[in-house]
Amino acid sequence: MQEDSGRVLAELTRDHFESRVGEVFLLMTGEGEEAMELTVVETRRLLESMDFAPGERHPFSVIFRGPAEPILHQRIYQLSHREMGTFPLFLVPLGPGEGGGIRYEAVFT
């Protein structure tokens, strides 16, 4: 999945993540550091009032929950999932969430 991650990211839909709510993705924070676990907690459809052509991807976001520490800065991280493979994803910290930890959002347009 890494070799052509731009194409793969463009093909991902909300359904790819909606079916994985509760599942863990591993995030690599940097060289030599342990992977951080992020859990998919929610997906959101964006721009619901707009019409899209058949086959056109509807914008959506994915909300992840990670540990309370460390709080990650917004940037591109490598995420890995046992079935979806490894791919880069731009994450934005949203702050504390229900159930503890920090929420992060990835937006797909």
Residue 14 has pLDDT above 90, yes or no: no
In a domain, 75, yes or no: no
Instruction: Examine residue 58 and state whether it is found in any structural domain, yes or no.
Output: no
Answer whether residue 36 is part of any domain: yes
Question: Would 92 be classed as within a structural domain?
Answer: no
pLDDT value of residue 1: 42
Distances (CA, A) of 76 to 90, 98, 105: 4, 24, 12
In a domain, 14, yes or no: yes
Residue 83 lies in a domain: no
Q: Report the pLDDT value the prediction gives residue 6, as an integer from 0 to 100.
A: 55
Considering the domain boundaries, does residue 39 fall inside one?
Answer: yes
Question: Residue 3 pLDDT > 60, yes or no?
Answer: no
Residue 28 lies in a domain: yes
- Provide the residue range defining the domain that includes 13: 1-49
Residue 96 clears pLDDT 70, i.e. is over it: yes
pLDDT in tens, 42-94: 999 887 655 655 566 678 999 999 999 999 999 999 999 998 888 999 999 99
pLDDT of residue 64: 97
Q: How many domains would you assign to the chain?
A: 1
Computed over every residue of the chain, the mean pLDDT equals 85
Predicted pLDDT at 7: 53
Cβ atoms of residues 71 and 37 within 8 Å? no
Report DSSP letters for 58-85, one per residue: PPEEEEEEE-SSSPPPSEEEEEEETTTE
